[in-house]
Amino acid sequence: MTTILTFVHYYLPGYKSGGPLRSISNLVAALGDQLAFKIVTADRDWVDTVPYPQIRTDCWNRIGRAEVYYCSPRSQSLRSFRRLINETDHDVLYLNSFLDPVFTIRPLLLRWLRLLPERPTIIASRGEFGAGAWHLKYYKKQPYKFFAKILGLYGNIIWHASSEYEAEEIRKALRITAKRVHLAPNIFVASDLTTMVEEMDTTEFHVKDDNRLRVLFVSRISPKKNLKGALEILQKVESPVEFNIAGPLDNETYWKSCRDLIGMLPKNVLVNYLGPVAHSKILLLMMEHDLFLFPTYNENFGHVIAEALLSGLPVLTSDQTPWRDLEEVRVGWNLPLDDLGAFASKIDSCARMPADEYRNWRSQIAFWGMSTATDEKAIDDNLKLFLRARYT
């Protein structure tokens, strides 16, 4: 069986870091019986200061269909990674960031110094080259990219893109040929979530009140996810809105600026901060709301969008994600970020929709989300990505 040695900064049982963790856990759930995944990750969740309980650090643990090595801070050095990679039998090295200083750049430095066995290496940049994402801390990212290119740090890399949009972003940013970028869409959701949806009773959807709306934002509280944009949109909304924010704090300075905006919102908008929410509770939380508001600056995929649609929650997001045709299939909207008034108008129109009509709409959205989530082609494309890397 082909063995994929995977480096990703955060993995299960973590839930605070978002997309890459979900991408890898879904990949393992879908392909763990056809590929042997060995995952190297941190021993604690994002922003946590203590290791996960009930895991063994600095050794291999069996987690679901994967073997997982939880690195303590002292075992994340170049020397420790060199020993671990050389002692771990594998066919493909799979990295899940362009910029992660520990779980991408350190393995790449060892590779560049020829201190690792020669193996095909795949990098999934996870949306880091999107215009909205790259612009954040551009002054650090651009010099790094320049010197990495001069050194040849990313020579002979296979690039994994999850959409045509991301493939073009990678080609443009790195000025590489199309043949070095391989498209394999993200596997939308793990089987535990699809099972939950199959058993879901649509009568459990929150009953929308007349002329008011319960709106949800789920993500890290960081500039890229654009909570400030969501609050600026709500300044323009005329209908009564309860706006609930769920997610861990990424940046205290940014959160303070968000709190300042919250203090300036009109009286028709009530805001609650729910803090981090375990992934196992996300679908139920979404079912208790009427609309998912997510004006993100960039997503290479957007797992929370897929999960919102699975829960029958209409999605109001930016045009900076692969979810480009939401209005055409009548499950939501993807709007340009330079027109916040258009976002506010959609919120007001949802608030005015009669409760019975809204519930029927949500049932249709959940059906569409489920049909989209069970994408066998995405599973097959990911399998081909790793097998082709090994044998080419």
Examine the pLDDT at 194 and tell me if it is beyond 70: no
**Domain limits, the chain:** 3-187+375-391, 191-373
DSSP-assigned letter for residue 52 = P
**Average pLDDT of 263-288?**
93
Torsion angle defined by CA atoms of residues 74, 80, 85 and 87, in that order, rounded to the nearest 10 degrees: -110
- CATH topology match: 3-187+375-391 vs 191-373: yes
Q: Which residues contact 179 (CB under 8 A, 6 or more apart)?
A: none
Give the CA angle between residues 336, 342, 348 to the nearest 5°: 140
Q: Which of 86-100, 113-127, 368-382 comes out lowest in average pLDDT?
A: 368-382
**Average pLDDT of 25-48?**
94
3-187+375-391 maps to which CATH number?
3.40.50.2000
Examine the pLDDT at 233 and tell me if it is beyond 80: yes
Q: Which of 84-88, 101-105, 112-116, 127-131 comes out lowest in average pLDDT?
A: 127-131
**Average pLDDT of 331-353?**
97
Task: Give me 305's structure tokens.
Answer: 């969008």
pLDDT tier for residue 353 given thresholds of 50, 70 and 90:
very high
Q: How far apart are CA 6 and CA 25, in angstroms?
A: 11
| C-beta of residue 219 within 8 angstroms of C-beta of residue 279 | no
**Average pLDDT of 106-135?**
92
Class of domain 191-373: alpha beta
pLDDT tier for residue 207 given thresholds of 50, 70 and 90:
confident
